[in-house]
Structure 1
């Protein structure tokens, strides 16, 4: 069977989710659907979900989706402005969009990164002239509230909770790239360079070629097991981002080398015999969590495609990871999916998080851009057990 990933994304997945996950009574996208496709009611809307969906719908419009995409993105943009925007340009973590509804005004770094990313794609889709100023205001609020002038980077939120993480910085880099590509303004690329500098100095574990996840208040590795926790899916996200940063800057051969090290360690220790990326390993490659989430598989597809596009690597890994994703997480071909599987392939949990559309959209869009279709037949797994990390 030949799968057209563009058709899967634009005709089957996104129109259905744009309607099924939108709350017609109170507005906004719900965080989860049940396996039957029904909404799971909640007391408030999460900023993260709205910001990711703003990106999803805006990118869909850029790809040539039907009128639903820009309409839904515009409706969501207005909803965000009404319920989540704070006076200083930052955005609240959650809001209850109903008469007398309350708002959780905590400012979370991870959420702000995704708002910046969503706004960049909304600007690319709509050309709304107000949006660049909104993004600059958001970045300025992030600097005022959460910047760490001593160690660098940003604190997790207004409470400065610990541990600190590389993950929100990674998505800030993604947002800076999106804004640079939208405007050509050097401001955004300079900010991206600052995040890449943190990757080099704080996040990359040179001794093992792995990516640190959790850090202490000064951005040193966190104490205890958290300091050794590694997520192969994030390795793959950084592969894609580092290679695109190299493309945007036109320099940094060391970024290609760093991306290759992350790819190699993730492939060597983070992929099981079914062909899935597992959830977590330690810095020595021992599997800590063998379960299989959907999102790391999408990031492996993206990383493999970036290596093909920019390093001339064999595209076969991209086909392999996509085949695994479709066979195991979308056996019915969408629009529903299985978010998490056990090592034995048994579905775990009964919900589908709306936020996962962010991962699916970019992976399928990149595949459609570089490899319009592929044969989704044959076994979906691996034949190299010597490259699998030892079980926990």
Structure 2
């Protein structure tokens, strides 16, 4: 390499994702325009392989002999290849692999009505086999850590939150497929959490959840406080929050009043011990002995607030609890948390990224642990996504304006405009003289942050009909489905390199860990199906439930799939135990259950209702 840092005289592999603007068949050169408007010439004279995007469980679909026919203007393509330095300067990109996302120029396979449903079925099958093999479902066999191909590690701590996340995934799979085995796993997991991880404090009239369970032979040791360095020897709010994720999603299906009672008791825990009545919001940690957020034992977590303690209530359990019940108190809490977010989190005077950590008085905490003054890209997108959900329930200009502002600024700040996909953690402020935000540790891309981008831009397009938001959603779905699906071993990868190649080292090699347990991949499948089909593409969907009518409060089964714009979806038909059922309120998305003993299986078909055109 020469001393001139601006000269590149080595080869390197990389990815270019963009839309075709030209194709010179004689020269064998394809021209792609990337998301940031740059133009790249992609040489095809090296004889690249080509494929059609395929889902989990589908065979590889070779398109190498159809490149010329597929190279239509406007078509989105992901090209992986090699950059070669040119003798006179500059670079030449030679494609080695092309991924076409549909058969037609305006076709995106992930917008097929059943794409995300098939994907969640495959993911559920992977985790069912990994955790329980082919035998009975026994959560005593559950392991937090699962290797790439599904084998369990020697580690034997069962974390409450990862069990809950698996339960969420299986419940979501049942909602979309009606496959009873998935519901069995969800219900058994919920029972296991209640029996082994739940503590009922009768004196305080609250429920809180253990960090996990350590098993040594026949001896079980309950781990009361967190075992992680950021939260060690404390009760972090996010662990209590995510303990509810799976059971509450299961409650949407079954109406089991015991689950609601646990959720309400945990909400009392939040309101009594985590809520700051003076300055507002929820503290991130409390001391396990005094249940105080202000004890010196908490160290750097003393009297602190963060994104998780304020914002994660909504997506983890609270929206789903409201969907299942329609109770005003849950809507009020949602409004409180979202009002807090739009008031406290944006920091547009200093950064396009929200502020995520705070002291008691909401002054910014920019020296905390690993975060310092850094941004988690996915948290910004998660805020935009969930603000739009809340906008459907209790609309406010502040919700819409904040969500749109985040959506407009994030692509240039946190997305990869050449390769596609979304980055992980970056510095919130640019270094002097630099035009981009530096990566904190690496330029890899995590599966869960792609989920937040996809859902944010899908729901934003569904509400506003803005085509730029639809383009962002399509680009994000293309990258995720091209590179995150593990067609060899099953499920999805934790991380990929910037180019999209899987990153398979350390814990990021695993399919199960403290961070990964089917939750985000299943949530993506569930809501991408809802938004693509019902909110955007005008396709009906079926949903399954299995309540006991005698236990369902007021005899009404509420079947709204998510917080969607009022009047955008209605019930088209209902079947109970395979027979037509006509006692339902189509617009209220509620089914009057028959007066019968025992559980009944309910299939509900929801269809988009005509909506006036919206511009934004």
Q: TM bucket by the smaller chain?
A: 0.7 to 0.9
Give me the TM-score of the superposition, normalised by structure 2.
Answer: 0.57
Q: How does 1:56-135 map to 2 (within 5 A)?
A: 56-88=169-201, 89-97=207-215, 99-106=218-225, 107-135=235-263
Say whether residues 1:146 and 2:299 are aligned partners: no
Q: CA deviation at 1:232?
A: 1.4
Say whether residues 1:213 and 2:326 are aligned partners: no
Find the partner of 1:275 among 398, 408, 420.
Answer: 420
Q: CA deviation at 1:120?
A: 2.2
Cα deviation, 1:20-62, whole Å, max 9, x if unaligned, reads 1348676264223212221123221111101212221222222
- Structure 1 stretch displaced more, 191-200 or 202-211: 202-211
Cα deviation, 1:253-301, whole Å, max 9, x if unaligned, reads 2211100111122211101121121112233351323221111011111
Aligned-partner Cα distance in 2 for 1:326–1:304? 16
Q: How many pairs are equivalent? A: 372
Unaligned runs of 5+ in 1: 374-392
Match of 2:491 in 1: 336
Match of 1:294 in 2: 447
Find the partner of 2:338 among 187, 193, 196.
Answer: 196
Match of 1:306 in 2: 459
Match of 1:321 in 2: 476
Q: Per the alignment, do residues 237 and 366 of structure 1 end up closer, same or farther by CA in structure 2, a change over 3 Å counting? A: same
Aligned-partner Cα distance in 1 for 2:402–2:358? 20
Aligned-partner Cα distance in 2 for 1:351–1:169? 29
Q: CA deviation at 1:357?
A: 1.9
Aligned-partner Cα distance in 2 for 1:216–1:363? 32
Find the partner of 1:16 among 119, 126, 139.
Answer: 126
Unaligned runs of 5+ in 2: 1-51, 53-108, 202-206, 226-234, 288-292, 431-436, 535-616
Aligned-partner Cα distance in 2 for 1:338–1:131? 32
Aligned-partner Cα distance in 2 for 1:26–1:256? 42
Aligned-partner Cα distance in 2 for 1:22–1:193? 40
Q: Per the alignment, do residues 245 and 28 of structure 1 end up closer, same or farther by CA in structure 2, a change over 3 Å counting? A: farther
CA contact (8 A) 1:22 1:29 kept: yes
Aligned-partner Cα distance in 2 for 1:57–1:125? 11
SS at match of 2:198: coil
Give me the TM-score of the superposition, normalised by structure 1.
Answer: 0.87
Higher helix share: 1
Aligned-partner Cα distance in 1 for 2:279–2:488? 46
Higher strand share: 2
- Aligned-CA RMSD value: 2.4
- Structure 1 stretch displaced more, 329-338 or 204-213: 329-338
Find the partner of 2:402 among 254, 258, 277.
Answer: 258
* Higher Rg: 2
Q: How does 1:217-236 map to 2 (within 5 A)?
A: 217-224=360-367, 226-236=371-381
CA contact (8 A) 1:29 1:49 kept: no
Task: Report which structure shows greater RCO (CA 8 Å, sep ≥6).
Answer: 1
Q: CA deviation at 1:206?
A: 3.4
SS at match of 1:95: strand
